[in-house]
Each structure stands twice: as C-alpha cells, then as structure tokens.
Chain A
Amino acid sequence: MHFSEDDLAAALRRKDPGPDFAQRVIKAVGEDRQQSPRAALGRKFTPGWWPFRFSPVLGGALAAVLVFACWFGVAWYRARQVEIARGEKARQEAILALRITSAKLHHVFRHVNQQEAPQPKIRRQSL
C-alpha cells in the first residue's frame, strides 16, 4: 500500500478540542487559584515523577507514624538491653553459686577421704 508523506501529514492534521475548551481551562485555572495555599505547598514539594500529591495531612500522619515507630523502637531496644543485663547477672550468680558448691563439695570430699584412709602402722621401737 503506497501513501505519500502528504497523506500522513493530512491524516495527522491538527484537530480542535471544541469551542468551549479555553473556557474550561480558564475555569480550571480559577479553581486551581482558589485552592488553599496548602495545595500549592504540596505542589511545590512534590517532584514531577511522584504519583501522589503531597498533602500536609498526609505528611503529618506520616511524621506521626515515624515518631511512633522511633519511640517504639527505642523502648523495645531499652527493654531488650535490660533483659540482656538481667540474664547476664543471673548467669554470673549461677556460676558463683556453682563455684561455691564445687568448693564445698571438694572440701567435704577431701575430709571424708582423709578419715577413711588407713592409719600407717607405727612400729614401736624399744628404747
């Protein structure tokens, strides 16, 4: 099928959006102008590629969630540290108790061994 570049240009000739398009745009501009400064602030801080419009309410909610997450994280960390310290202390105490028990057992064992051991026979030498 042959077509010329003129055909393509004719097929892609500019079209008109309609007579009231400019009025609609002006109306939209008016509405945009009447929007609160918060929306303008949102536009200012929203990069072009970001699909969501920044809103101060959303920003506040996000900040609150972040603060809560940080607080929760710090509290959890501290509780964990206290738990670890308690565990360590309990371990040290258990080791000490075992050492004392071991020393006492050792002492008793030695004492019993000494008592049970036969007395060496002493020859009486005549004077």
Chain B
Amino acid sequence: MPTDREHQIEAALRQAARGDSDAFADLVREHQGMVFSIAWHFLQDRSVAEDVAQEVFLELYRRLADIQSPAHLTFWLRRVATHRSFDHGRRFKSRREQTLEGLPEPASEKAESDPLLHRQLRQTLMSLPEKQRMVVLLRYQEGLGPAEIAEILEMPVNTVKSTLHRCLEELRGKLTRRLGEVRYAFF
C-alpha cells in the first residue's frame, strides 16, 4: 500500500513532467543521497561522484515522461547511477587510485561507531573488481536483494548470490592482510 511519501513523490513526478522545476527539485532532494552515495562509494571521489549524480538527474529530467511510478523512478535512478558510475570508473581509473587516501569524506547522517574499521572497509572494497564492488554496494548500501541487484546489473540471480559470498570472503581476507601490515608497521 502506497504511503503518504509515495503519494507526494508521485504527485511531484507528475508535476515535474509538466515542467514544474520545484517539483523536480523535490525529487532531486528525495533521491540525491541514494544516487550520490552509489557514485561516491563506487568511485571514492567526491567531485566525480557529484558530476555523476548531476548527470543522472539531468538525464532523469529529459526522460521524466517515461517514468511511471515512484518505484520505477527509484529503480531507474539506481540503474542509471550504477551504469554512469561504471563509465566514470573506467574513465577516471588512474585518478581514482590517487585519490583513495586522505580526502575528506562527505557528511553522513549518523555518526560512525567505528570510523577506522569503516574506512578500512571502504578502501578494501575499492580493491574489488568493478562488478563485484557494485554488487556489494547495492546489497549493503541500498539493502537490495539478489533479485533486484540482478535486475539492475543484468546478471543471473545465482551469479549475484555467489558473487556476494565470494566478495565477503575476499573482503575479510584482504582486510586481515591490510590490518596485519598496519600492525607490523607500528610494532
């Protein structure tokens, strides 16, 4: 059953399709965190992530007439953000490697319980191949199930499941090695 917020988004969608820029701004504000975070966690570069998010919303504006419902809008935004992130990831590969360390992170709504561990996790995630990284992102940032991830990334569901399992193992292994190296450097 659609909630009030969904009704509001649906109304904003209709108004934006008729050219109401305030309604479109509401849509942007509603979804900017999702789109920006997909790009930022994938690319680890704030300015590129903002460019990606802006591109995605510009494309949304051009295709507003094709969007049928709030659910369709969310799916469309996730999908386009994902693919735009892949494109930019390939284009800015070398630049991204330089910016992995040391740049300030965007503000998060909640304070992190273990910022060091979370930072290490994000950096270790960057060492995974693009597709695997995106699978982990969609699963843990967006909380999507394997079927939804499969639809967005155009992969078989079983491949998504096995990729997730493999990625977690790989992350654990890499994080252990990484922290081991840090301890070795300190002691």
Contacts and interface: CB of A to CB of B under 8 A. Distances in A.
Q: How large is the interface on A (under 10, 10 to 19, 20 to 34, 35 or more residues)?
A: 20 to 34
B172 A2 contact: yes
Contacts of B143: 9
A25 B118 contact: no
A10 B40 contact: no
Interface stretch (A14-22, A77-85, A107-115): A14-22
Interface string B113-128: 1100111011001000
Interface stretch (A26-34, A53-61, A67-75, A89-97): A26-34
A38 interface: no
A43 interface: yes
Nearest to B34: A14
B118 A26 contact: no
A16 B54 contact: no
Contact of B140 (A2, A9, A24): A9
B37 A1 contact: no
A11 interface: yes
Contacts of B25: 22-23, 25-26
A21 B112 contact: no
Nearest to A32: B58
Interface string A1-14: 11101011111111
Interface of B: 21, 24-25, 28-29, 32-34, 36-37, 40-41, 49-50, 53-54, 57-58, 61-62, 105-110, 112-114, 117-119, 121-122, 125, 136-137, 140-141, 143, 168, 171-172, 175-176, 178-179
Given A3-B175, A11-B117, A29-B57, 15 more contacts: A3-B117, A8-B136, A9-B143, A10-B112, A10-B118, A11-B121, A11-B122, A11-B140, A12-B137, A14-B34, A15-B40, A21-B36, A28-B54, A29-B24, A29-B61
23 contacts: A1-B175, A3-B121, A3-B172, A5-B140, A7-B121, A8-B140, A9-B140, A10-B118, A12-B37, A12-B121, A12-B122, A12-B141, A14-B108, A15-B33, A17-B50, A17-B106, A21-B28, A26-B24, A26-B25, A28-B58, A29-B21, A29-B58, A32-B58
